[in-house]
Structure 1
Amino acid sequence: MERHGFVTAGTWCVDRNIIVDQWPREDMAATVRDVRLAGGGSACNFGVDMRRLDPSVPVETQGLIGADAEGDFLLGVAKEHRIDISGLHRSEAGRTEVTDAYVSAATGRRTHILFYGVAGQMTPDHFDFSRTRARYLHLGLPGVHEQMDGPWGEDANGWVTVLRKARAAGLETNMEFVANEEEAIRRLALPCLPHLTTLVVNDQEIGAMARMETVSDDLTDPAVCLAAARKVIGEGAMDVVVVHFTHGAVLVARDGEVIHQPSVAVPDGERKGANGAGDAFAAGFFYGRHKGWNRAECLRMGHATAAASLRSAETYAAVESAKACLELADRWGWRA
């Protein structure tokens, strides 16, 4: 069977994107400038980004949301972007997951406060890849789904079980992670590595997996990221490991290829928020991979999509077609 397109699986939540003048200290106050509702979570963001990059790429999704107004909102987001929702389950046993995503206008930094709702009820039984014709599974988010994060049968966690299902069905697999304590990332991620064909993560996540300090005083060390990626690829089945960070990305391939790719020089006045930028990078990278581009071109597409997304405090609102994102990146220029 010829495979084409993506299954995005796992986290669907409602993002309340809240722009504040600055993030306050405890017992202090901040002024809210704007509040916008949007879809959120790796399954939503990656799927919507992919459809915005190219509406001809088929995207289907699987996961669990509540049978409530927030769930209806998410179904509206999926339907607006023509994402196949036949695998998206609904539960009346709890509310849809909601994330308050605060963005500081002063720094552009983000702070997420999560209400898990039915996220904790999601299990491997909510995923079925037996009928999909997709080529890739994009799965997440470990750390915010109680039952998935725990042991499932003989597997270390439910994420491993889902990845096993996908690989048995013939899909290529990738995982998305969420900001978490380093030990929690290691505990959840390392058992999954033998069941992944790719790994696209940020500088902090690869550092946690490799037990290396990739970020110090908010500065990323690309050389340590490269060393961490080399260590992690040796512990899994991935053909490539990609690490992205503010100023660039590094790629390590099992065949020995190593690529350093600077990011887009986004003008300061264009930055509205980094919420969803990691999802956008992943979507751009996999769009290129889906098209058969070489690895350097995939990295450039990832950076171009992430740069476009930075123009909005919402996760995907500023992502445009692949052609428009690349033209924007070339217009702004690339870092040295």
Structure 2
Amino acid sequence: MTGVMPKGDGVVCAGNWIVDVVHTLDRWPAKSDLVHILSEAEGVGGGAANVAIDLAAFDTGLPLFAVGLTGTDRHAETVRQACRAAGLDSRHLGATAAAATAHTHVMNLPGDSRTFLYHAGANDLFDGMHLSVEALADMDARIFYLGYLNLLKSLDAVGPDGSTDAASLLRRAQLAGMQTCVDLVSADGPRFRATVEATLAEIDHLFLNEIEAARATGLAISGPQDAKGMEAAGRQLLAAGVRQTVILHSQDLAIWLPKAGPAVRLASIPVPTSEIVSPVGAGDAFCAGVIFGIHEYWPPNYALQLGHRAAAAALRSPTATGGIPPLVTLMPEAFATC
């Protein structure tokens, strides 16, 4: 393994671009109650944004392409400023006057969990119809990431042919020569499983946590330590169409399930409760780390290890992407031949 980057490769990060306003509370309110906001931070979030900015934070020179849709408001400028600061190629990040930029008010309890109050805005209008995946492939992008499935209204709908527009977009990316990576979101709804099943056949690498795995398969998973339940769900998704790998993760472990061959399990990195500022973005940081490993053809255990280290770093920041250090700091062994 080496930290030297092959020339001309890169990752397309398509999907949700959201401005997160993170409120840290002193406690969770009862109905009609008042609680205190201890602090507030604003940053860019969403699957595409978090993965792209985290990959940029690794500081490897990897070409990164921002794809999605914003409004034309103040939040849109926040998104575009974040893209400029991260050095992302944002020529394929569109804008519309028909909707506001997506934004979320995140209610965070330190050392506990977070709750999202989400306004979809322009994300609901992103359908990929005017996106040239071929142009992105011609720029030598190797991976096409889409996040989050089930939080992109126009792409999520199952059509009369039993497929989704997300599947069509991913198929175009594959035909252009890119591998497809898809991440799910922990949103509950009556069409969650149907959307996933209608898209599986065009997914090379599927990322999901234990909650999403249960919702996508209908199988019972008892919690973040239920490796057997998570693996059973992953095997079901592989059998249902995922082309190469299902990568499951929870706060306790990650599991790499290939189409053929044994599973690889790796425990997460314990982070003391006193050091957890916010869990916002930790799952996306894990995803970014593993995607980097896939891009570099790392063995699964190395890719999972980087994912865990990135997630642990994210827990120490109030925003989704603020805590990610360069790869040379996060995983120095990546720069030594091994």
Question: TM-score surpassing 0.5?
Answer: yes
- Residue 178 of structure 1 corresponds to which residue in structure 2? 185
- The CA distance in 1 between the partners of 2:124 and 2:256, in whole Å, is 33
Query: How far is 1:127 from its partner?
Result: 2.5
SS in 2 for 1:63: strand
Which of 108, 111, 114 does residue 115 from structure 2 map onto?
A: 111
Matched, 1:191 2:218: no
Conservation of the 8 A alpha-carbon contact between 1:120 and 1:147: yes
- The CA distance in 1 between the partners of 2:235 and 2:8, in whole Å, is 29
- Residue 292 of structure 1 corresponds to which residue in structure 2? 297
Query: How far is 1:3 from its partner?
Result: 6.2
Distance verdict in 2 for CA 1:254–1:144, change over 3 Å: closer
- Residue 123 of structure 1 corresponds to which residue in structure 2? 127
How many residues were matched structurally? Answer: 324
Tell me the alpha carbon deviations over residues 192-247 of structure 1, each in whole angstroms, 9 at most, x when there is no partner. 1110111111111112222111135xx54111101111111111132111110011
- Residue type at the aligned position of 2:257: V
- Residue type at the aligned position of 2:262: E
- The CA distance in 1 between the partners of 2:153 and 2:199, in whole Å, is 16
Matched, 1:17 2:16: no
Instruction: After TM superposition, list the pairs within 5 Å mapping 1:309-320 onto structure 2.
Output: 309-320=314-325
Conservation of the 8 A alpha-carbon contact between 2:184 and 2:207: no
- Residue 242 of structure 1 corresponds to which residue in structure 2? 247
- Residue 331 of structure 1 corresponds to which residue in structure 2? none
Instruction: After TM superposition, list the pairs within 5 Å mapping 1:1-336 onto structure 2.
Output: 4-105=9-110, 107-132=111-136, 133-151=140-158, 154=161, 156-181=163-188, 183-216=190-223, 219-326=224-331
Unmatched segments (≥5 aa) in structure 2 = 1-6, 333-338
Identity over aligned pairs, percent: 25
Query: How far is 1:304 from its partner?
Result: 0.6
Conservation of the 8 A alpha-carbon contact between 1:66 and 1:95: yes
- Residue type at the aligned position of 1:111: T
Query: How far is 1:110 from its partner?
Result: 0.6
Conservation of the 8 A alpha-carbon contact between 1:199 and 1:238: no
- Residue type at the aligned position of 1:127: L
Query: How far is 1:143 from its partner?
Result: 2.7
- Residue type at the aligned position of 1:108: D
1 or 2 for the larger relative contact order (CA 8 Å, sep ≥6)?
Answer: 2
Unmatched segments (≥5 aa) in structure 1 = 328-336
CA-based RMSD of the aligned residues comes to: 1.8
Distance verdict in 2 for CA 1:316–1:194, change over 3 Å: same
Conservation of the 8 A alpha-carbon contact between 1:239 and 1:253: yes
Distance verdict in 2 for CA 1:152–1:9, change over 3 Å: farther
Conservation of the 8 A alpha-carbon contact between 1:230 and 1:252: yes
Query: How far is 1:125 from its partner?
Result: 0.8
- The CA distance in 1 between the partners of 2:152 and 2:295, in whole Å, is 29
TM-score by length of 1: 0.92
- Residue type at the aligned position of 2:192: I
